[in-house]
Structure 1
Amino acid sequence: MSGLGAFWGLYKREIIKIYRRPPALAMTFVQPIIWIIFFGSSLNGMPKEYLVQFFGTSNYIGFILPGQLATSMLFIGTFSSMSIVWDRRFGFLKKILVTPAPREAVFFSKVLGAVTRGLLQVPIMLAAAAAFGVRLPADFGGYLLWMAALVLLGLGFSSIYLSVAMRSSDWQLPQLVANVLNLPLMFTSTALFPKTFYPAWMRAIADVNPITFATEIGRGVVLSDPYDAAALAYLAVFAAASTAVGLLVAKRFLTVE
């Protein structure tokens, strides 16, 4: 079995699992839309002059949209990590590991499966934002850059959470780690608010938080503001470093026993 063939077969399994679980697929779409409807609409009640002053737009949903898609890539990474724990507990992982399939194929199938699931939200979220009055610009190159940023962000966080899960057969561990990290990562980025709202120590974290970089690229596209394409290089380094760690953990801890 070639490494590419093993990866393709395992990756298809991840995609098939998404579509064979309609409730889980529905929640993938519903959860971020709920954020837009309730959280976004709550701040949209501010006077328009304050919205423009603080958020650079008269529609806060346009401001939060890129941040919500970025944080979705963070949260979806948690699900991919939990799935490998269940594969281990139900014996599927053991069946794969006794074949010639390389450990790297198992790792990348999980990571790219999570990224694919995250990207499925993009058209739904864009349509939801448009329904709430967000005017989306026709910037094809900008959208490609934004999608690349989301892919790199998803690769990075999925690799991190998968690295944790591969070392344990306890299905609760990935969820515990996510509970500790996800909300701080979200609130110390610019996903929900600009850095000018934060104290100095939170701004320092936001300046190195990968979610901030992906959010700012998307926000530049949505709000037609200048965006720094060099932020993509930072996300590429983050994704490469996280993936490298994940591969090392896979080779060490993905064992039959």
Structure 2
Amino acid sequence: MIDKVIALYEREMKRFFRSRYMWVMILAQPIMWIIFFGSSFSQVPKEFLETFFHTTDYIAFIVPGELSVSMMMVGSFSSMSLIQDKRLGYLRRILITPTRKAAVFYAKVLGGMTRGIIQVPIMILVSLLLGVKYNVDWLGLLEWIIGLIFIGIGFSSLYGIITANTSDWQAPGVVSNLLNLPLMFSSTALFPAAFFPSWLKLVSDGNPLTYAAELGRDALLYGDPPNPLYLLYLVAFGIIMLIIGTIVIEKYLTVD
């Protein structure tokens, strides 16, 4: 099955690289977040930022969080691609061959994860051009990248699970609106947990975006040693979602 996954994954990447609009969506949105939302705290007293954000540069604080959020949001593209294949009849043609449904699912998940990882060096470069200074822990950086890979796998799998038996092109957008904003604002991607009420802190403690954002800040900003428990949580999230997705896709994936 590996050869079929690789072939389908290559198709996903070719479609991505050939689409100028997909590049605009993938790159412009997080960059605009950095420039506009990141600049919203530019006049906040540095003492306040130092006390609650542990940095004097809010853009430096937001970059790891925004990249974590981006890995979640690109998950919707994997389900969009799946639905497009259904509507164009491509999925039907694939599944009449000796190709398992799981192979199609894995290719979509890997495609969604890759779209997100491509953003990492670009956003870091943009932040450097904006004057952000990092204190990099290289082992922590490697750990964070691995964590982002697994959180991308997890959310791409989740979107595939939810849209497995529909060909409604509106479904990914609806699911995205229902999931993305609550998950983003209930994590520490944009603000520290010190700002949260007690019930929201509990939600944040179970939110994968929190662990990805904190890993990124340890790696890029604070220069702290990596926390293996954070990575373990993200790896477990990705693997569990992938396993559940495989079961759901094999049982419920429809060609129309």
**Structure 2 length normalisation: TM-score?**
0.96
Task: Specify the alignment match of 1:116 in structure 2.
Answer: 114
Show the counterpart of 1:54: 52
Residue 18 of structure 2 is aligned with which of 11, 17, 20? 20
Out of 170, 175, 190, the position equivalent to 1:172 is: 170
Structure 1 counterpart SS, 2:99: coil
Q: How far off its partner does 1:138 sit?
A: 4.2
Please identify, of 62-71 and 15-24, the stretch whose mean Cα deviation from structure 2 is larger.
Answer: 15-24
Counting only pairs closer than 5 Å after superposition, residues 49-128 of structure 1 correspond to structure 2 as 49-128=47-126
- Quick one: structure 1 residues 35 and 67, their matched pair in 2 at CA, closer, same or farther if it must change by over 3 Å? same
Q: Give the CA RMSD over aligned residues.
A: 1.2
Partner of 1:245: 244
8 Å contact kept, 2:138–2:219: no
* In structure 1, distance between residues paired with 2:227 and 2:217: 11
Equivalent residue for 1:184, pick from 159, 182, 185: 182
Q: Secondary structure at the match of 2:227?
A: coil
On the 8 A contact 2:183/2:209 being kept in 1, the answer is yes
Instruction: Encode CA deviations 1:122-165: one digit per residue, 9 max, x unaligned.
Output: 11100011112211234322211110010010011110011111
Aligned 8 A contact 1:98 1:256 in 2? no
Change (3 A) 1:198 1:256: closer
8 Å Cα contact 1:97-1:255 kept in structure 2: no
Instruction: Give yes or no for contact 2:187–2:204 (8 Å, CA) kept in 1.
Output: yes
Give CA-to-partner distance per residue, 1:34-91, whole Å, 9 cap, x none. 0010010111221111111111001000100000000001110011111101100110
| Secondary structure of 1:223 counterpart | helix
Which residue identity does 1:25 align to in structure 2?
W
Contiguous gaps of at least 5 residues in structure 2: none
Shift of 1:254: 2.7
Is structure 2 residue 150 aligned with structure 1 residue 152?
yes
Q: Deviations over 1:90-146 (max 9, x none)?
A: 100001000001222101100000000000101110001111221123432221111
Q: Find the aligned partners of 1:44 and 1:158 in 2 and give their Cα distance.
A: 34
Answer yes or no: is the 8 Å Cα contact 1:217–1:229 preserved in 2: no
> Amino acid of the residue matched to residue 26 of structure 1?
V
Q: C-alpha separation between the residues in 1 aligned to 2:191 and 2:136? A: 25
State whether residues 59 and 133 of structure 1, in contact with CA within 8 Å, keep that contact through their aligned partners in structure 2: no
How many aligned positions are there? 255
- 8 Å CA contact 1:166, 1:249 repeated in 2: yes
**Matched ranges for 1:215-254 at <5 A:** 215-226=213-224, 227-254=226-253
Q: State the Cα deviation string for residues 200-243 of structure 1 (Å, max 9, x = none).
A: 11101000100000110001112124342211111111111111
Q: Which runs of 4+ in 1 moved over 6 A?
A: none
Distance in structure 2 (CA, Å) of the matches to 1:192 and 1:105 = 35
Q: CA deviation at 1:23?
A: 2.0
Please report how far the alpha carbon of residue 256 of structure 1 lies from its aligned counterpart in structure 2 after TM superposition: 4.7
Q: CA separation in 1, counterparts of 2:254 and 2:192?
A: 45
Inter-partner Cα distance in structure 2 for 1:206 and 1:28:
26
Identity of aligned residues (%): 45
Q: Deviations over 1:3-24 (max 9, x none)?
A: 1111111000000011110121
